[in-house]
Structure 1
Amino acid sequence: MEEQNPYRASSAAVADVVELVDVESATKWRRFFNWLIDKLIVLLCGALLGVLAALSGNEAVLAWIDRIDRLTDILLTAAITVVYYAFMEGAFGFTIGKLITNTRVVDEYGRAPGFARAFLRSLCRLIPFDALSLLFSDGEVRRGWHDSLTKTYVIRRPRPGQRVGRPRHAISSQFGEGIVPQPGRVAADTGAAASITVAP
Protein backbone atom coordinates (compact mmCIF):
# COMPACT_ATOMS: atom_id res chain seq x y z
CA MET A 1 0.00 0.00 0.00
CA GLU A 2 1.33 3.42 -0.97
CA GLU A 3 2.20 5.66 1.96
CA GLN A 4 0.71 9.14 1.92
CA ASN A 5 2.77 12.05 3.11
CA PRO A 6 0.54 14.23 5.34
CA TYR A 7 2.91 17.18 4.84
CA ARG A 8 2.76 17.20 1.06
CA ALA A 9 0.91 20.14 -0.49
CA SER A 10 -2.50 19.42 -1.92
CA SER A 11 -2.76 18.93 -5.67
CA ALA A 12 -6.43 20.00 -5.81
CA ALA A 13 -7.28 22.78 -8.24
CA VAL A 14 -7.94 26.13 -6.63
CA ALA A 15 -11.38 27.45 -7.54
CA ASP A 16 -12.01 31.14 -8.10
CA VAL A 17 -13.52 32.59 -4.95
CA VAL A 18 -16.45 34.94 -5.50
CA GLU A 19 -16.46 37.64 -2.83
CA LEU A 20 -19.55 38.95 -1.13
CA VAL A 21 -19.89 42.68 -1.62
CA ASP A 22 -21.48 45.54 0.29
CA VAL A 23 -23.51 47.64 -2.10
CA GLU A 24 -25.36 50.90 -1.74
CA SER A 25 -28.99 50.47 -2.72
CA ALA A 26 -30.72 52.95 -5.03
CA THR A 27 -32.77 55.67 -3.37
CA LYS A 28 -36.44 55.16 -2.58
CA TRP A 29 -37.39 57.83 -5.15
CA ARG A 30 -35.59 55.92 -7.92
CA ARG A 31 -37.25 52.72 -6.76
CA PHE A 32 -40.65 54.46 -6.79
CA PHE A 33 -40.16 55.62 -10.39
CA ASN A 34 -38.99 52.09 -11.30
CA TRP A 35 -42.22 50.70 -9.89
CA LEU A 36 -44.40 53.37 -11.53
CA ILE A 37 -42.87 52.98 -15.01
CA ASP A 38 -42.92 49.18 -14.85
CA LYS A 39 -46.52 49.20 -13.58
CA LEU A 40 -47.52 51.22 -16.66
CA ILE A 41 -45.58 48.81 -18.90
CA VAL A 42 -47.41 45.81 -17.36
CA LEU A 43 -50.78 47.53 -17.92
CA LEU A 44 -49.80 48.34 -21.52
CA CYS A 45 -48.83 44.69 -22.07
CA GLY A 46 -52.28 43.63 -20.81
CA ALA A 47 -53.99 46.14 -23.10
CA LEU A 48 -51.85 44.99 -26.04
CA LEU A 49 -52.88 41.38 -25.44
CA GLY A 50 -56.51 42.51 -25.46
CA VAL A 51 -56.02 44.38 -28.74
CA LEU A 52 -54.30 41.35 -30.32
CA ALA A 53 -57.19 39.14 -29.16
CA ALA A 54 -59.68 41.59 -30.70
CA LEU A 55 -57.74 41.70 -33.98
CA SER A 56 -57.71 37.91 -34.15
CA GLY A 57 -61.46 37.97 -34.67
CA ASN A 58 -61.98 34.85 -32.55
CA GLU A 59 -65.55 35.17 -31.23
CA ALA A 60 -64.96 32.84 -28.26
CA VAL A 61 -61.94 34.87 -27.07
CA LEU A 62 -63.84 38.16 -27.45
CA ALA A 63 -66.81 36.76 -25.53
CA TRP A 64 -64.45 35.56 -22.75
CA ILE A 65 -62.82 39.03 -22.54
CA ASP A 66 -66.29 40.64 -22.26
CA ARG A 67 -67.24 38.33 -19.36
CA ILE A 68 -63.93 38.62 -17.48
CA ASP A 69 -64.44 39.09 -13.73
CA ARG A 70 -62.31 40.92 -11.14
CA LEU A 71 -60.50 37.80 -9.87
CA THR A 72 -59.51 36.70 -13.37
CA ASP A 73 -58.33 40.22 -14.13
CA ILE A 74 -56.10 40.18 -11.00
CA LEU A 75 -54.70 36.73 -11.92
CA LEU A 76 -53.96 37.80 -15.50
CA THR A 77 -52.21 40.98 -14.30
CA ALA A 78 -50.18 38.91 -11.81
CA ALA A 79 -49.14 36.46 -14.57
CA ILE A 80 -48.09 39.32 -16.88
CA THR A 81 -46.16 40.91 -14.00
CA VAL A 82 -44.27 37.70 -13.21
CA VAL A 83 -43.41 37.03 -16.86
CA TYR A 84 -42.35 40.65 -17.51
CA TYR A 85 -40.08 41.00 -14.47
CA ALA A 86 -38.64 37.47 -14.68
CA PHE A 87 -37.76 37.84 -18.36
CA MET A 88 -36.35 41.38 -18.19
CA GLU A 89 -34.35 40.98 -14.97
CA GLY A 90 -33.24 37.45 -15.84
CA ALA A 91 -32.08 38.30 -19.37
CA PHE A 92 -30.76 41.83 -18.87
CA GLY A 93 -30.54 42.56 -15.12
CA PHE A 94 -32.97 45.46 -15.49
CA THR A 95 -36.52 46.31 -16.53
CA ILE A 96 -37.61 49.23 -18.72
CA GLY A 97 -38.19 51.27 -15.56
CA LYS A 98 -34.71 50.47 -14.28
CA LEU A 99 -33.22 51.28 -17.68
CA ILE A 100 -34.82 54.74 -17.59
CA THR A 101 -33.75 55.43 -13.98
CA ASN A 102 -30.24 54.01 -14.62
CA THR A 103 -30.49 51.24 -12.01
CA ARG A 104 -29.68 47.53 -12.08
CA VAL A 105 -30.49 44.37 -10.09
CA VAL A 106 -27.53 42.50 -8.58
CA ASP A 107 -27.11 39.61 -6.18
CA GLU A 108 -24.97 39.72 -3.04
CA TYR A 109 -21.85 39.06 -5.17
CA GLY A 110 -22.54 42.01 -7.47
CA ARG A 111 -23.60 39.78 -10.39
CA ALA A 112 -26.75 39.86 -12.52
CA PRO A 113 -29.47 37.79 -10.80
CA GLY A 114 -30.06 35.16 -13.52
CA PHE A 115 -33.42 33.66 -14.48
CA ALA A 116 -34.04 31.52 -11.37
CA ARG A 117 -33.50 34.37 -8.92
CA ALA A 118 -35.35 36.84 -11.18
CA PHE A 119 -38.33 34.47 -11.29
CA LEU A 120 -38.31 34.16 -7.49
CA ARG A 121 -38.10 37.97 -7.20
CA SER A 122 -41.11 38.23 -9.49
CA LEU A 123 -43.13 35.78 -7.39
CA CYS A 124 -42.21 37.68 -4.21
CA ARG A 125 -43.67 40.84 -5.75
CA LEU A 126 -47.09 39.17 -5.47
CA ILE A 127 -46.86 39.16 -1.65
CA PRO A 128 -49.50 41.58 -0.35
CA PHE A 129 -48.03 44.97 0.67
CA ASP A 130 -44.66 44.14 -0.91
CA ALA A 131 -44.48 47.65 -2.44
CA LEU A 132 -45.04 49.16 1.01
CA SER A 133 -42.23 47.02 2.48
CA LEU A 134 -39.75 49.11 0.50
CA LEU A 135 -41.37 52.37 1.57
CA PHE A 136 -41.04 51.45 5.26
CA SER A 137 -37.60 49.81 4.97
CA ASP A 138 -34.55 51.14 6.76
CA GLY A 139 -33.34 54.43 5.29
CA GLU A 140 -29.83 53.07 4.63
CA VAL A 141 -30.71 49.55 3.47
CA ARG A 142 -33.67 50.46 1.19
CA ARG A 143 -34.83 46.94 0.35
CA GLY A 144 -38.29 45.48 -0.12
CA TRP A 145 -39.32 41.92 0.67
CA HIS A 146 -38.72 40.85 -2.93
CA ASP A 147 -35.11 42.07 -2.48
CA SER A 148 -34.34 40.66 0.96
CA LEU A 149 -36.01 37.27 0.38
CA THR A 150 -33.98 36.70 -2.80
CA LYS A 151 -30.74 38.30 -1.51
CA THR A 152 -30.72 40.91 -4.25
CA TYR A 153 -30.19 44.65 -4.41
CA VAL A 154 -31.23 47.43 -6.76
CA ILE A 155 -28.30 49.76 -7.28
CA ARG A 156 -27.39 52.70 -9.48
CA ARG A 157 -25.70 51.44 -12.62
CA PRO A 158 -21.93 51.61 -12.06
CA ARG A 159 -19.78 53.48 -14.55
CA PRO A 160 -17.67 51.36 -16.92
CA GLY A 161 -14.71 49.91 -15.03
CA GLN A 162 -16.20 50.80 -11.64
CA ARG A 163 -16.87 48.02 -9.11
CA VAL A 164 -20.45 47.20 -8.13
CA GLY A 165 -19.68 47.36 -4.40
CA ARG A 166 -16.96 47.11 -1.79
CA PRO A 167 -15.73 43.66 -0.72
CA ARG A 168 -17.52 42.71 2.48
CA HIS A 169 -15.44 43.46 5.60
CA ALA A 170 -14.01 40.32 7.20
CA ILE A 171 -12.02 39.72 10.39
CA SER A 172 -9.40 37.84 8.37
CA SER A 173 -8.61 41.05 6.48
CA GLN A 174 -7.83 42.74 9.81
CA PHE A 175 -5.27 40.06 10.61
CA GLY A 176 -3.77 40.44 7.15
CA GLU A 177 -3.19 44.14 7.79
CA GLY A 178 -1.30 43.37 10.99
CA ILE A 179 -3.80 44.86 13.43
CA VAL A 180 -3.09 42.01 15.81
CA PRO A 181 0.43 42.79 17.12
CA GLN A 182 3.14 40.26 16.38
CA PRO A 183 6.05 39.81 18.84
CA GLY A 184 8.84 40.46 16.32
CA ARG A 185 7.21 43.65 15.07
CA VAL A 186 6.53 45.01 18.56
CA ALA A 187 10.14 44.48 19.59
CA ALA A 188 11.39 46.11 16.40
CA ASP A 189 9.02 49.05 16.78
CA THR A 190 10.02 49.78 20.40
CA GLY A 191 13.71 49.35 19.69
CA ALA A 192 14.07 46.83 22.52
CA ALA A 193 16.19 43.74 22.08
CA ALA A 194 13.99 40.75 21.52
CA SER A 195 15.08 37.78 23.58
CA ILE A 196 13.13 34.64 22.86
CA THR A 197 13.44 31.78 25.26
CA VAL A 198 12.21 28.39 24.29
CA ALA A 199 10.98 26.29 27.20
CA PRO A 200 12.28 22.73 27.25
Structure 2
Amino acid sequence: MENHPSPQPVTAEAAPAAQPDSFAPIEPPNMAALSETYGSSTFFRRWGAHVIDHILLACFLLGMSSFAEQSGETWAVFLILALLIGIPCYYVLLEGLTGFTVGKLALQIKAVDADGRPPGLGKSFIRSLLRFVDTNPLLVGGLPAGISVLVTKRKQRLGDLAANTYVVKLKDLPHASKKSTARFTVIFSIAALLCLIFGMYGVVSLAKSTPKERVFTSKDKLVQLTATSGWSKDNSLHEEANLVISNRFADKYVLVISEAKDDLGDSLTLEEYAEIVETNFDDELVNSSIGKFRPAIVDHNPAIRFTVSGEVDDVDVTYIMTVIETPTHFHQVMAWTEARKFDSLEEELLDITSSFRESADTAGEL
Protein backbone atom coordinates (compact mmCIF):
# COMPACT_ATOMS: atom_id res chain seq x y z
CA MET A 1 0.00 0.00 0.00
CA GLU A 2 1.34 3.33 -1.04
CA ASN A 3 2.11 5.75 1.75
CA HIS A 4 0.75 9.30 1.28
CA PRO A 5 2.15 12.09 3.37
CA SER A 6 -0.34 13.26 5.94
CA PRO A 7 -1.32 16.92 5.77
CA GLN A 8 0.51 19.21 8.19
CA PRO A 9 -1.66 21.07 10.70
CA VAL A 10 -1.97 24.78 10.10
CA THR A 11 -0.65 26.77 13.04
CA ALA A 12 -1.92 30.12 14.18
CA GLU A 13 1.29 31.74 12.94
CA ALA A 14 0.78 30.37 9.47
CA ALA A 15 -2.88 31.40 9.20
CA PRO A 16 -3.47 34.25 6.75
CA ALA A 17 -4.12 37.62 8.38
CA ALA A 18 -7.71 38.78 8.37
CA GLN A 19 -8.35 41.48 5.77
CA PRO A 20 -9.89 44.68 7.09
CA ASP A 21 -13.43 45.33 6.11
CA SER A 22 -13.25 48.35 3.85
CA PHE A 23 -16.93 49.02 4.48
CA ALA A 24 -16.62 49.17 8.28
CA PRO A 25 -17.63 52.60 9.65
CA ILE A 26 -14.85 54.85 10.88
CA GLU A 27 -15.36 55.59 14.54
CA PRO A 28 -14.79 59.25 15.45
CA PRO A 29 -11.99 59.84 17.92
CA ASN A 30 -12.90 60.72 21.48
CA MET A 31 -13.20 64.52 21.52
CA ALA A 32 -11.86 64.92 25.05
CA ALA A 33 -8.78 62.84 24.24
CA LEU A 34 -8.35 64.57 20.90
CA SER A 35 -8.46 68.01 22.52
CA GLU A 36 -5.69 66.98 24.92
CA THR A 37 -3.33 66.46 21.98
CA TYR A 38 -3.59 70.06 20.81
CA GLY A 39 -0.89 72.59 21.51
CA SER A 40 -1.09 76.38 21.45
CA SER A 41 -2.03 76.40 17.75
CA THR A 42 -5.67 75.83 18.62
CA PHE A 43 -5.60 78.99 20.76
CA PHE A 44 -4.45 81.10 17.82
CA ARG A 45 -7.07 79.56 15.54
CA ARG A 46 -9.81 80.30 18.05
CA TRP A 47 -8.52 83.82 18.59
CA GLY A 48 -8.44 84.45 14.83
CA ALA A 49 -11.99 83.11 14.46
CA HIS A 50 -13.12 85.37 17.31
CA VAL A 51 -11.62 88.43 15.57
CA ILE A 52 -13.22 87.57 12.22
CA ASP A 53 -16.65 87.08 13.82
CA HIS A 54 -16.46 90.35 15.72
CA ILE A 55 -15.35 92.31 12.65
CA LEU A 56 -18.29 90.96 10.66
CA LEU A 57 -20.76 91.63 13.49
CA ALA A 58 -19.38 95.16 13.89
CA CYS A 59 -19.84 95.78 10.15
CA PHE A 60 -23.39 94.46 10.32
CA LEU A 61 -24.18 96.56 13.39
CA LEU A 62 -22.71 99.72 11.83
CA GLY A 63 -24.68 99.27 8.63
CA MET A 64 -27.95 98.46 10.34
CA SER A 65 -27.56 101.38 12.75
CA SER A 66 -27.02 103.80 9.85
CA PHE A 67 -30.04 102.37 8.06
CA ALA A 68 -32.16 102.64 11.21
CA GLU A 69 -31.11 106.24 11.81
CA GLN A 70 -32.18 107.24 8.30
CA SER A 71 -35.42 105.30 8.43
CA GLY A 72 -37.00 107.05 11.41
CA GLU A 73 -37.80 106.13 14.99
CA THR A 74 -40.20 103.24 14.25
CA TRP A 75 -37.69 101.42 12.09
CA ALA A 76 -34.96 102.21 14.59
CA VAL A 77 -36.81 100.51 17.45
CA PHE A 78 -37.59 97.51 15.27
CA LEU A 79 -34.00 97.13 14.10
CA ILE A 80 -32.55 97.53 17.58
CA LEU A 81 -34.77 94.69 18.80
CA ALA A 82 -33.76 92.62 15.78
CA LEU A 83 -30.08 93.21 16.55
CA LEU A 84 -30.49 92.30 20.20
CA ILE A 85 -32.01 88.99 19.14
CA GLY A 86 -30.01 88.44 15.95
CA ILE A 87 -26.48 88.79 17.28
CA PRO A 88 -26.86 86.15 20.05
CA CYS A 89 -28.58 83.88 17.52
CA TYR A 90 -25.54 84.17 15.28
CA TYR A 91 -23.73 81.98 17.77
CA VAL A 92 -26.63 79.94 19.15
CA LEU A 93 -28.07 78.85 15.80
CA LEU A 94 -24.93 78.59 13.69
CA GLU A 95 -22.79 76.79 16.24
CA GLY A 96 -25.69 74.73 17.56
CA LEU A 97 -26.78 73.40 14.16
CA THR A 98 -23.51 73.37 12.22
CA GLY A 99 -20.70 73.72 14.75
CA PHE A 100 -19.38 76.68 12.73
CA THR A 101 -19.38 80.42 12.73
CA VAL A 102 -17.94 82.30 9.77
CA GLY A 103 -14.68 82.71 11.67
CA LYS A 104 -14.48 79.08 12.72
CA LEU A 105 -15.13 77.83 9.19
CA ALA A 106 -12.50 80.19 7.81
CA LEU A 107 -9.93 78.84 10.30
CA GLN A 108 -11.07 75.22 9.82
CA ILE A 109 -12.17 74.55 13.39
CA LYS A 110 -15.50 73.35 14.69
CA ALA A 111 -17.46 73.36 17.94
CA VAL A 112 -18.59 69.82 18.79
CA ASP A 113 -20.05 67.74 21.58
CA ALA A 114 -18.32 64.72 23.16
CA ASP A 115 -19.23 62.57 20.11
CA GLY A 116 -17.84 64.99 17.53
CA ARG A 117 -21.25 66.24 16.40
CA PRO A 118 -22.58 69.84 16.37
CA PRO A 119 -23.44 70.79 19.96
CA GLY A 120 -27.17 71.32 19.43
CA LEU A 121 -29.19 74.37 20.48
CA GLY A 122 -29.15 73.59 24.22
CA LYS A 123 -25.39 73.31 24.57
CA SER A 124 -24.88 76.15 22.11
CA PHE A 125 -27.13 78.39 24.20
CA ILE A 126 -24.99 77.69 27.27
CA ARG A 127 -21.78 78.35 25.31
CA SER A 128 -23.21 81.62 23.98
CA LEU A 129 -24.52 82.72 27.37
CA LEU A 130 -21.02 82.44 28.84
CA ARG A 131 -19.71 84.74 26.10
CA PHE A 132 -21.07 87.64 28.13
CA VAL A 133 -18.40 86.74 30.69
CA ASP A 134 -15.38 85.37 28.84
CA THR A 135 -15.49 87.15 25.45
CA ASN A 136 -17.37 90.36 26.22
CA PRO A 137 -15.64 93.30 24.46
CA LEU A 138 -17.21 95.71 26.97
CA LEU A 139 -15.57 93.96 29.95
CA VAL A 140 -12.07 92.58 29.43
CA GLY A 141 -12.49 91.37 25.86
CA GLY A 142 -11.54 87.75 25.26
CA LEU A 143 -8.96 87.62 28.07
CA PRO A 144 -10.87 85.13 30.31
CA ALA A 145 -11.53 82.86 27.31
CA GLY A 146 -7.90 83.04 26.18
CA ILE A 147 -6.54 82.21 29.62
CA SER A 148 -9.00 79.33 29.99
CA VAL A 149 -8.05 77.83 26.60
CA LEU A 150 -4.35 78.06 27.42
CA VAL A 151 -4.47 76.57 30.92
CA THR A 152 -7.15 73.87 30.65
CA LYS A 153 -6.11 70.34 29.71
CA ARG A 154 -8.62 70.07 26.88
CA LYS A 155 -8.25 73.67 25.59
CA GLN A 156 -11.75 74.74 26.64
CA ARG A 157 -13.04 78.21 27.39
CA LEU A 158 -15.58 78.77 30.17
CA GLY A 159 -18.51 78.20 27.83
CA ASP A 160 -17.05 74.85 26.71
CA LEU A 161 -16.54 73.73 30.29
CA ALA A 162 -20.13 74.60 31.21
CA ALA A 163 -21.66 72.94 28.11
CA ASN A 164 -19.21 70.00 27.87
CA THR A 165 -18.20 70.97 24.34
CA TYR A 166 -14.89 71.14 22.49
CA VAL A 167 -13.40 73.04 19.60
CA VAL A 168 -11.38 70.74 17.33
CA LYS A 169 -9.69 70.95 13.96
CA LEU A 170 -11.93 70.01 11.07
CA LYS A 171 -9.34 67.65 9.60
CA ASP A 172 -9.49 65.53 12.76
CA LEU A 173 -13.16 64.66 12.23
CA PRO A 174 -13.21 61.60 9.92
CA HIS A 175 -16.97 61.61 9.50
CA ALA A 176 -17.12 65.29 8.49
CA SER A 177 -18.94 65.63 5.17
CA LYS A 178 -16.88 67.46 2.57
CA LYS A 179 -20.07 68.19 0.65
CA SER A 180 -21.71 69.84 3.67
CA THR A 181 -18.56 71.77 4.47
CA ALA A 182 -18.40 73.07 0.90
CA ARG A 183 -22.05 74.11 1.09
CA PHE A 184 -21.48 75.93 4.38
CA THR A 185 -18.45 77.66 2.87
CA VAL A 186 -20.54 79.10 0.04
CA ILE A 187 -23.38 80.21 2.33
CA PHE A 188 -21.08 81.71 4.97
CA SER A 189 -19.01 83.49 2.32
CA ILE A 190 -22.13 85.19 1.01
CA ALA A 191 -23.12 86.16 4.56
CA ALA A 192 -19.64 87.57 5.23
CA LEU A 193 -19.77 89.57 1.99
CA LEU A 194 -23.15 91.04 2.97
CA CYS A 195 -21.79 92.05 6.37
CA LEU A 196 -18.83 93.80 4.74
CA ILE A 197 -21.17 95.61 2.34
CA PHE A 198 -23.28 96.70 5.33
CA GLY A 199 -20.13 97.96 7.03
CA MET A 200 -19.08 99.96 3.96
CA TYR A 201 -22.57 101.44 3.76
CA GLY A 202 -22.34 102.44 7.43
CA VAL A 203 -18.93 104.08 6.98
CA VAL A 204 -20.10 106.05 3.93
CA SER A 205 -23.29 107.13 5.71
CA LEU A 206 -21.30 108.22 8.73
CA ALA A 207 -18.89 110.23 6.58
CA LYS A 208 -21.74 111.98 4.77
CA SER A 209 -23.91 112.64 7.79
CA THR A 210 -23.84 115.94 9.64
CA PRO A 211 -24.14 115.90 13.43
CA LYS A 212 -27.72 116.44 14.54
CA GLU A 213 -28.32 119.21 17.03
CA ARG A 214 -30.40 118.77 20.13
CA VAL A 215 -31.83 121.46 22.40
CA PHE A 216 -31.52 120.87 26.15
CA THR A 217 -33.83 122.83 28.44
CA SER A 218 -33.56 123.23 32.20
CA LYS A 219 -36.25 121.76 34.44
CA ASP A 220 -37.52 125.23 35.36
CA LYS A 221 -37.70 126.13 31.62
CA LEU A 222 -35.50 129.14 32.33
CA VAL A 223 -32.50 128.43 30.10
CA GLN A 224 -31.44 126.15 27.26
CA LEU A 225 -28.30 124.97 25.43
CA THR A 226 -27.86 123.38 22.03
CA ALA A 227 -25.36 120.57 21.41
CA THR A 228 -24.75 117.84 18.86
CA SER A 229 -25.44 114.13 19.24
CA GLY A 230 -23.30 112.49 21.88
CA TRP A 231 -24.24 114.99 24.58
CA SER A 232 -26.88 114.24 27.19
CA LYS A 233 -28.30 115.71 30.37
CA ASP A 234 -26.20 114.95 33.43
CA ASN A 235 -28.13 116.15 36.48
CA SER A 236 -25.91 114.21 38.88
CA LEU A 237 -22.86 116.32 38.06
CA HIS A 238 -23.87 119.49 39.91
CA GLU A 239 -26.91 119.69 42.21
CA GLU A 240 -27.21 123.49 42.24
CA ALA A 241 -26.95 123.99 38.47
CA ASN A 242 -30.06 124.79 36.46
CA LEU A 243 -28.82 122.73 33.50
CA VAL A 244 -25.92 120.32 33.03
CA ILE A 245 -25.01 118.48 29.85
CA SER A 246 -22.01 116.24 29.26
CA ASN A 247 -20.30 113.78 27.00
CA ARG A 248 -18.48 111.69 29.58
CA PHE A 249 -16.95 109.42 26.94
CA ALA A 250 -15.04 112.42 25.55
CA ASP A 251 -14.62 114.18 28.94
CA LYS A 252 -16.43 117.40 28.01
CA TYR A 253 -18.98 119.19 30.17
CA VAL A 254 -21.13 122.35 30.21
CA LEU A 255 -23.37 123.66 32.99
CA VAL A 256 -25.49 126.74 33.65
CA ILE A 257 -26.05 128.37 37.05
CA SER A 258 -28.63 131.16 37.11
CA GLU A 259 -29.23 133.74 39.85
CA ALA A 260 -32.08 136.25 39.91
CA LYS A 261 -31.04 139.88 40.19
CA ASP A 262 -33.69 140.41 42.87
CA ASP A 263 -31.73 138.07 45.13
CA LEU A 264 -28.42 139.86 44.53
CA GLY A 265 -29.28 143.53 44.72
CA ASP A 266 -30.03 145.98 41.93
CA SER A 267 -26.66 147.72 42.13
CA LEU A 268 -24.51 144.70 41.14
CA THR A 269 -22.90 145.15 37.74
CA LEU A 270 -21.90 142.46 35.24
CA GLU A 271 -18.21 143.04 35.88
CA GLU A 272 -18.68 142.86 39.66
CA TYR A 273 -20.57 139.59 39.31
CA ALA A 274 -17.80 138.21 37.06
CA GLU A 275 -15.23 139.16 39.71
CA ILE A 276 -17.20 137.17 42.32
CA VAL A 277 -17.19 134.14 40.03
CA GLU A 278 -13.46 134.60 39.43
CA THR A 279 -12.79 134.66 43.20
CA ASN A 280 -14.77 131.44 43.70
CA PHE A 281 -12.67 129.72 41.05
CA ASP A 282 -9.44 130.91 42.62
CA ASP A 283 -10.53 129.49 45.99
CA GLU A 284 -11.66 126.10 44.72
CA LEU A 285 -8.89 125.17 42.26
CA VAL A 286 -5.32 124.12 43.00
CA ASN A 287 -2.63 126.07 41.12
CA SER A 288 -5.30 128.13 39.38
CA SER A 289 -4.51 130.48 36.50
CA ILE A 290 -7.20 132.93 35.34
CA GLY A 291 -7.17 134.72 32.00
CA LYS A 292 -8.21 138.27 31.21
CA PHE A 293 -11.84 139.33 31.04
CA ARG A 294 -13.04 139.69 27.46
CA PRO A 295 -16.37 141.28 26.48
CA ALA A 296 -18.82 139.16 24.48
CA ILE A 297 -22.41 139.10 23.28
CA VAL A 298 -24.54 135.99 23.91
CA ASP A 299 -28.16 135.89 22.73
CA HIS A 300 -28.07 139.71 22.30
CA ASN A 301 -27.07 140.09 25.95
CA PRO A 302 -23.81 141.55 27.32
CA ALA A 303 -21.37 138.96 28.65
CA ILE A 304 -17.85 138.57 29.99
CA ARG A 305 -15.72 135.56 29.05
CA PHE A 306 -12.47 134.28 30.52
CA THR A 307 -10.51 131.05 30.79
CA VAL A 308 -9.47 129.29 33.97
CA SER A 309 -6.88 126.52 34.41
CA GLY A 310 -6.14 124.49 37.51
CA GLU A 311 -6.11 121.08 39.17
CA VAL A 312 -9.20 119.16 40.31
CA ASP A 313 -8.49 115.89 42.09
CA ASP A 314 -4.95 115.88 40.64
CA VAL A 315 -6.28 116.31 37.08
CA ASP A 316 -5.37 119.40 35.02
CA VAL A 317 -8.58 121.04 33.82
CA THR A 318 -9.29 124.08 31.65
CA TYR A 319 -12.57 126.02 31.80
CA ILE A 320 -14.25 128.53 29.52
CA MET A 321 -16.27 130.74 31.84
CA THR A 322 -18.98 133.00 30.40
CA VAL A 323 -20.98 135.33 32.64
CA ILE A 324 -24.14 136.68 30.99
CA GLU A 325 -26.44 139.49 32.14
CA THR A 326 -30.10 139.48 31.10
CA PRO A 327 -32.80 141.89 32.29
CA THR A 328 -33.73 139.56 35.18
CA HIS A 329 -30.76 137.26 35.82
CA PHE A 330 -27.04 136.71 35.90
CA HIS A 331 -26.06 133.40 34.31
CA GLN A 332 -22.82 131.47 34.61
CA VAL A 333 -22.13 129.18 31.65
CA MET A 334 -19.20 126.96 32.53
CA ALA A 335 -17.64 124.67 29.88
CA TRP A 336 -14.63 122.50 30.62
CA THR A 337 -12.49 119.50 29.75
CA GLU A 338 -9.08 118.08 30.60
CA ALA A 339 -6.27 120.52 29.82
CA ARG A 340 -4.62 118.12 27.37
CA LYS A 341 -7.84 117.99 25.29
CA PHE A 342 -8.72 121.66 25.49
CA ASP A 343 -7.17 122.82 22.20
CA SER A 344 -9.09 120.23 20.18
CA LEU A 345 -12.40 120.85 22.01
CA GLU A 346 -12.26 124.62 22.54
CA GLU A 347 -14.28 125.49 19.43
CA GLU A 348 -17.05 123.02 20.28
CA LEU A 349 -17.25 124.25 23.89
CA LEU A 350 -17.47 127.86 22.67
CA ASP A 351 -20.24 126.97 20.23
CA ILE A 352 -22.30 125.34 23.00
CA THR A 353 -21.70 128.28 25.31
CA SER A 354 -22.80 130.70 22.57
CA SER A 355 -25.98 128.66 22.04
CA PHE A 356 -27.21 129.75 25.49
CA ARG A 357 -30.75 131.07 25.43
CA GLU A 358 -33.07 132.39 28.12
CA SER A 359 -36.73 131.55 27.69
CA ALA A 360 -38.86 134.14 25.95
CA ASP A 361 -41.26 134.47 28.90
CA THR A 362 -38.48 135.14 31.37
CA ALA A 363 -36.60 137.47 29.06
CA GLY A 364 -39.71 139.61 28.68
CA GLU A 365 -40.11 140.19 32.39
CA LEU A 366 -38.72 143.39 33.90
Q: What band does the TM-score fall into relative to the shorter chain?
A: 0.5 to 0.7
Aligned-pair distance for 1:83?
1.6
CA contact (8 A) 2:123 2:163 kept: yes
> What's the TM-score, normalizing by structure 1?
0.56
Kindly indicate whether structure 1 or structure 2 has the higher relative contact order, using CA contacts under 8 Å at least 6 residues apart.
Answer: 1
Kindly indicate whether residue 69 of structure 2 is the aligned counterpart of residue 58 of structure 1: no
CA shift digits 1:90-139 (9 cap, x unpaired): 22210000011000001112111011211221111112558223322326
2:154 pairs with 1:141 = yes
Matches within 5 A, 1:88-167: 88-127=94-133, 131-137=142-148, 138=151, 140-158=153-171, 161=174
What TM-score do you get using the length of structure 2 for normalisation?
0.32
The whole-number CA distance in structure 2 between the counterparts of 1:152 and 1:91 is 14
- Going from structure 1 to structure 2, the CA distance change for 1:132 and 1:79 (only over 3 Å counts) comes to farther
Counterpart of 1:40? Answer: 55
Judge conservation of contact 1:130–1:146 (CA < 8 Å) in 2: no
Quick one: distance in 1 between partners of 2:141 and 2:120?
21
* Alpha-carbon distance in 2 for matches of 1:146, 1:87: 15
CA distance, structure 2, for counterparts of residue 19 and residue 37 of structure 1: 28
Cα distance between partner residues in 1 of 2:63 and 2:115:
37
More strand by share: 2
The whole-number CA distance in structure 2 between the counterparts of 1:131 and 1:142 is 14
Identity of aligned residues (%): 26
Counterpart-to-counterpart distance in 2, 1:110 and 1:144: 17
Runs of 4+ in 1 over 6 A off after TM superposition: 75-78
**Could you tell me whether the CA contact under 8 Å between 1:34 and 1:98 is conserved in 2?**
yes
* Partner Cα separation in structure 2 for residue 109 and residue 151 of structure 1: 11
Give the letter aligned to residue 54 of structure 2: K
- 8 Å contact kept, 1:134–1:142: no
Aligned length: 136
SS of structure 1 residue aligned to 2:61? helix
Q: Where does the alignment leave 5 or more consecutive residues of structure 2 unmatched?
A: 1-27, 135-139, 177-366
Q: Which sits farther off after the overlay, 90-99 or 124-133?
A: 124-133
Query: Tell me, which stretches of 5 or more residues in structure 1 are unaligned?
Result: 1-17, 66-72, 164-200
State how far apart, in whole Å, the 2-side matches of 1:119 and 1:95 are.
14
Q: Distance in 1 between matches of 2:173 and 2:46?
A: 22
AA partner of residue 100 (structure 1)? A
Query: Are 1:130 and 1:145, in contact at CA under 8 Å, matched by a contact in 2?
Result: no
Shift of 1:141: 2.5
Letter in 1 for 2:163: T
Q: Computing the radius of gyration over CA atoms, which structure comes out larger, 1 or 2?
A: 2
